[in-house]
């Protein structure tokens, strides 16, 4: 298994769906190839932007196997594990490792909202249950606004103290620059990523590894440029405007709508229920905002 450095711009990829709401692996393979060609270090499938919480373990593993069969470089994949079910999490983790993926991004169990000791116990059980099958690197997914679980300093210390190098990094999707800086300054052996473009320059200046987020789905080249030149204030201002437009359009459905518009392929716009696609005036406003930010929406 590849142990290439965990750093750079990592896209939390959207998931295209066919008419029957199955994963459209052909379009997903084409999209992930495009992202890597445009400067991304890795692609993270089936996370929040990839609607991973709406897909079964079987669907995700079958799609990853199909990606490999289609020729995808699995060493540049960091799929997400998004389930409160220990058995599903273990099966997903082992499957990800068997496919040769670089690492796994693991969401904590999100239903019961238990104590830090309980969350640590769940990770203990996950690692113990899969120990014989894999030692794949784990990235902790800190998105408390959805999971209701925050990876605090004490919780991360407990996990790193017990599991050492198995805990390779953290994706901090809080959007809180101070939290990202705290994590990078405290856990110097971990790869700390932000989920927010606006935090990226400050995080990099304080030892951070990069970003794992949805915006590179559309703006991969610009975000790679921001990673390479984090003092580019003009580019940061453009990304800030774009984030606000995407958030106003419904986040991941806005990114899917933008891809559909740019690629001339409406299949990219289709989300899984209960999400609904961004169409009409909402999409028009989104694309107009992108154009105002200097992005060629006809590219």
- The closest of 200, 198, 141 to 173, measured between CA atoms, is 141
Helix (H) or strand (E) holding 104: strand 103-106
Active site residue 111: yes
Candidate list 42, 60, 171, 174, residue with the active-site label: 171
- C-alpha to C-alpha distances, 292 to 132, 237, 239, 284, 285, nearest whole angstrom: 53, 12, 12, 12, 11
8-12 and 80-81 as β-strands: parallel, antiparallel, unpaired?
A: unpaired
Read off the DSSP letter of residue 107: P
Beta carbons of 52 and 214 less than 8 angstroms apart: no
For residue 210, what is the enclosing H or E element? strand 210-213
Burial of 280 (0-12, 13-18, 19+ CB in 10 A): exposed
- Pairing status of strand 210-213 against strand 8-12: parallel
For strand 191-194 and strand 80-81, is the pairing parallel, antiparallel, or unpaired? unpaired
In the sheet with 191-194, reading across from the earlier edge strand, the strands are: 42-44, 8-12, 210-213, 191-194, 167-172, 137-142, 103-106, 80-81
Q: Is 10 helix (H, G, I), strand (E, B) or coil?
A: strand
Instruction: Choose the catalytic residue: 48, 92, 130, 194.
Output: 48
Active site residue 171: yes
Neighbours of 298 (CB within 10 A): 9
Cβ-contact 36, 69 below 8 angstroms: no
Among the options 49, 134, 141, 174, which is catalytic? 141
Active-site residue, selected from the candidate residues 85, 111, 189, 284: 111
Active site residues: 48, 111, 141, 171
């Amino acid at each position: 298994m590849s142990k290439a450095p965990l750093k750079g711009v990592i896209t939390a990829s959207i998931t295209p769906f066919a008419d029957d709401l199955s994963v459209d692996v052909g379009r997903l393979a084409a999209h992930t190839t495009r992202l890597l060609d445009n400067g991304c270090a890795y692609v993270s499938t089936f996370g929040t932007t990839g609607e991973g919480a709406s897909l079964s373990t079987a669907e995700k593993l079958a799609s990853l196997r199909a990606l490999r069969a289609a020729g995808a470089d699995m060493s540049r994949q960091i799929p997400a594990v998004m389930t409160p079910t220990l058995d599903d999490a273990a099966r997903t983790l082992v499957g990800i490792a068997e496919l040769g993926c670089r690492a796994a991004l693991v969401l904590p169990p999100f239903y019961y909202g238990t104590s830090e000791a309980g969350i640590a116990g769940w990770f203990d059980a996950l690692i113990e249950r899969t120990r014989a099958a894999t030692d794949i690197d784990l990235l902790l997914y800190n998105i408390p606004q959805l999971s209701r679980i925050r990876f605090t300093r004490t919780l991360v210390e407990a996990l790193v103290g017990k599991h050492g190098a198995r805990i390779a990094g953290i994706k901090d999707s809080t959007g809180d620059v101070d939290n990202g800086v705290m994590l990078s300054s405290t856990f110097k052996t971990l790869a700390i990523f932000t989920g927010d473009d606006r935090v990226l320059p400050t995080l990099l200046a304080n030892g951070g590894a990069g970003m794992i987020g949805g915006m590179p789905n559309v703006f991969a080249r610009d975000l790679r440029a921001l990673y390479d030149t984090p003092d580019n204030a003009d580019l940061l201002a453009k990304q800030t405007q774009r984030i606000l437009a995407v958030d106003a359009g419904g986040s991941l459905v806005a990114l899917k709508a933008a891809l559909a518009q740019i690629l001339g392929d409406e299949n990219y716009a289709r989300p899984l229920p209960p999400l609904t696609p961004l169409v009409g005036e909402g999409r028009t406003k989104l694309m107009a905002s992108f154009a105002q930010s200097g992005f060629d929406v006809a590219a």
